[in-house]
Amino acid sequence: MGKPGLFEDTAFFTSVASLGDLPASNAEVAFAGRSNAGKSSAINALVRRHRLAFVSKTPGRTQQINLFRLRSGALLADLPGYGYAAVPLDLKRHWQAFLTRYLATRQALVGLVLVVDARHGLAELDLELLAGFLPSGRSVLILATKMDKLTQAAQRGAQRNIERALAAAFPAQARQVTVVPFSATRRIGVETAEALIGEWLGVDNGEMPMRDPTPGADRAHKEKAPRTRGVSRGPKRPR
């Protein structure tokens, strides 16, 4: 005990509804997934706060990027959910295009956390998102969440289904993707997810790029870019 955790003291930072309003960032981890998959709940479980990210009773509501700031200065981005049936088609297209552009242009992005309801597995839109992101060479963590709703045997089956679908769709990029069984309510997979995200953010060696290479990223905002500080004592990953 006594080691400050990666997500300790995480605080709400800002919300943006357009990409031009994104703040400067040195390192960012984005949470994407279908509407209602459990993105906000996963963030809350990781940061050990009940209501930091807004958990919605009405699916399809989050239509902005909510950003949270870690003690290290890195940002977590809670992205708008996709695929909710009741959202009008042109609005759906708008948000899909928005996500695609965010993933393609956000230089600070070190990795993508894709939150998937383990009972449903990977949906077409999840595969499309991965197809757009994996060629960048960056890492993906798939949180197969709501595992608490499945029996032990069904949990193993759900994970296997996701891994098989990945291997079939992206045979050359399998090494970029890690599937972790997860539950926000039962706190399954929280430590594994934290260790992996910590690795992406370089908290094990305290190294992190200090400048945002995004063109014009510091133009719109007066805020000082978040800086790393005291992040060298993150949890070591078992090898």
State the Cα–Cα distance between residues 197 and 83, nearest whole angstrom: 26
- Identify the bridge partners of residue 12 per DSSP, sorted by sequence position: 68
Task: Note whether 26 binds ligand GDP by CB under 6 A.
Answer: no
Specify the DSSP element, H or E, that contains 210. none
Tell me the site size for Mg ion, rule CB under 5 A. Answer: 3
Encoded one letter per residue, x for contact with ligand GDP by CB under 6 A and - for no contact, window 145-184 reads: xx-xx---------------------------------xx
How many residues appear in the chain?
A: 239
From 9-17, 37-45, 136-144, 146-154, span contacting Mg ion (CB under 5 A): 37-45
Q: For 229, what's the count of Cα atoms within 13 Å in the CB-facing half-sphere? A: 7
The CB-of-92 to ligand GDP minimum distance in angstroms stands at 15
Cα dihedral 52→13→237→50 (10° resolution): 0
Interface with ligand GDP in residues 37-76 (CB under 6 A): 37-41, 55-56
Task: Note whether 113 binds ligand GDP by CB under 6 A.
Answer: no
DSSP, collapsed to helix, strand or coil, labels residue 222 as coil
Q: How far is CA 196 from the centre of its chain?
A: 12
The CB-of-154 to ligand GDP minimum distance in angstroms stands at 14
Binding site for ligand GDP (CB under 6 A): 33, 35-41, 55-56, 81, 115, 145-146, 148-149, 183-185
